């Protein structure tokens, strides 16, 4: 059964059904429906790691996607198989029980479940999947599950590529589970549940932009999301004749990595110091640094922020931060001023970017407008590396190759994306630049010895893709 999916998405569902006997035939019952959901990766065009500070972000869902087939079981086991996990050196088959989430007192705590699901590094990837079942019950979003499920996974989203493979996995599983158990949930609420699974079960301190894009993104358009905490501000069509593409550097990154976590902690330290300067009983920014304008920051707060501070000194002088998903290490030295500045300036850049992009169809000189958009992307890339310390030599090379080709050849701007530290570079290009992009990929491969990958197409999010069902 197909719910009016676009032709390309329908073919993906049909391919999943065709391959299911070979890939999952030993797991699936012949007498039970399989509910298949699909969620794409995303290209972070602007906003990136400023999402956890409340920035506006602009995200595009990619063609690469995770497909999750869910079949209810008659027992309480959660049986998971991922075709791609085995290729990455992890255990492809992982099994839990719904009873693993419970003690004699009821549902266990997030910290206990997280610790248990990640105890075996070869199986830790499955915490993103099992975490969905736990979060749905823990947050009382659904009635308690009486039976478990078989979860069958395929993916074309490269792991660690900076295009939100984890969010695609979580959202696909969540939508499949909701369908299999006859449940419904509003899109933003579903995205929030998926984010909780990543933050509190998988232990990765991501913002919410990835999950919202995987759930609610639209084909060939940018999703505008105000991360305060998750306000949709519309879908922005990409002007005719232009497109955004991604180039994967083949340098893996992780939002659970120390550089990402330390950058986030530094930003929240800056927030706490600003509140201390204000002697505020109530946070006038409601927890979001992005509500501070660059002018206000420079005039009132910048001089009070230390360049660096040890975790121990910060805790002694200011107490903890308000961030619920990170913990300060007393023995570490944290950069504060630069990490605080990035989300403040990035939000301002994204606001400018959106206004310019929306005015392009009426602009008399579209090429000049695209050059201005490109400059904002280059500024964002610079800030990632120089304010946040989250760049990489490989992504710098890709951005420089795009900049060298320039607007005269139809390449207007580029920036590192998502959690940085490698991953994918977003590029603003005109149509008809395929040969040039392939030349850049070849130059990059020659200079680094790494094989890059081009993400050139878009697709709809999980909500628009709908649910496909079949019986094995």
Report, as residue numbers or ranges, the catalytic residues: 210
Q: Quick one: tokens of 393?
A: 């030599």
Quick one: 322 exposed, middle or buried, by C-beta within 10 A (0-12, 13-18, 19+)? Answer: exposed
CB atoms inside a 10 Å sphere around CB 120: 12
Beta-bridge partner residues of 69: 36, 152
Whole-number Å distance between alpha carbons of 413 and 318: 40
Going across the sheet that includes 242-248, the strands are: 411-416, 424-430, 242-248, 453-455
Rg of the chain over all Cα atoms, to the nearest angstrom: 22
Quick one: 141 exposed, middle or buried, by C-beta within 10 A (0-12, 13-18, 19+)? Answer: middle
Helix-, strand-, coil-residue percentages of the chain, each rounded to 5: 45, 20, 35
Cα end-to-end span (Å), the chain: 13
CB atoms inside a 10 Å sphere around CB 118: 16
Looking at residue 232, what DSSP letter applies? E
Alpha-carbon torsion angle 319, 323, 327, 333, nearest 10? -70
CB atoms inside a 10 Å sphere around CB 102: 15
Residue identified by tokens 């904002």 is 376
């Amino acid at each position: 059964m197909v719910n009016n999916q676009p032709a390309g998405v329908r073919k993906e569902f049909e391919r999943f059904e065709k391959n299911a006997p070979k890939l999952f035939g030993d797991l699936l019952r012949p007498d039970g429906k399989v509910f298949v959901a699909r969620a794409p990766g995303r290209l972070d065009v602007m906003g990136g790691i400023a999402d956890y500070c409340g920035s506006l972000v602009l995200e595009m869902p990619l063609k690469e996607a995770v497909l999750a087939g869910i079949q209810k079981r008659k027992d309480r086991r959660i049986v998971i198989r991922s075709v791609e996990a085995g290729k990455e050196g992890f255990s492809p088959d992982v099994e839990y029980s719904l009873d693993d989430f419970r003690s004699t007192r009821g549902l266990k705590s997030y910290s206990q479940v997280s610790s248990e699901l990640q105890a075996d590094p070869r199986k830790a990837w499955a915490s993103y999947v099992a975490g969905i079942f736990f979060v749905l019950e823990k947050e009382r979003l659904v009635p308690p599950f009486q039976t478990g499920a078989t979860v069958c996974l395929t993916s074309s989203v490269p792991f660690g590529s900076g295009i939100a493979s984890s969010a695609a996995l979580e959202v696909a599983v969540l939508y499949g589970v909701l369908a299999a158990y006859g449940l419904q949930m509003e899109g933003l609420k579903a995205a929030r549940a998926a984010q909780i699974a990543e933050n509190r079960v998988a232990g990765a301190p991501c913002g919410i932009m990835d999950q919202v894009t995987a759930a609610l993104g639209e084909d060939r358009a940018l999703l505008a999301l105000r991360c305060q905490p998750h306000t949709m501000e519309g879908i922005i069509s990409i002007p005719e004749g232009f497109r955004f593409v991604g180039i994967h550097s083949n340098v893996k990154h992780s939002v659970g990595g120390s550089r990402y976590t330390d950058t986030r902690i530094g930003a929240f330290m800056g927030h706490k110091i600003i509140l201390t300067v204000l002697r505020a009983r109530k946070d006038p920014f409601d927890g979001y640094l992005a509500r501070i304008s660059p002018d206000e920051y420079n005039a009132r707060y910048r001089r009070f922020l230390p360049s660096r501070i040890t975790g121990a000194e910060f805790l002694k002088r200011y107490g903890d931060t308000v961030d619920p998903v990170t913990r300060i290490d007393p023995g570490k030295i944290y950069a504060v001023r630069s990490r605080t500045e990035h989300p403040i300036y990035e939000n301002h850049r994204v606001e400018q970017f959106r206004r310019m992009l929306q005015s392009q169809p009426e602009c008399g000189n579209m090429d000049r407008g695209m050059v201005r958009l490109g400059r904002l992307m280059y500024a964002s890339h610079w800030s990632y590396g120089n304010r946040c310390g989250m760049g990489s030599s490989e992504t710098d090379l890709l951005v420089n190759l795009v900049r060298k080709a320039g607007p005269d050849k139809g390449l207007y701007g580029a920036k590192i994306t998502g959690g940085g530290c490698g991953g994918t570079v977003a590029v603003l290009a005109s149509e008809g630049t395929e040969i040039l992009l392939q030349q850049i990929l070849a130059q990059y491969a020659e200079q680094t010895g790494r094989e890059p990958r081009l993400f050139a197409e878009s697709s709809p999010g999980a909500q628009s893709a709908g649910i496909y069902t079949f019986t094995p």
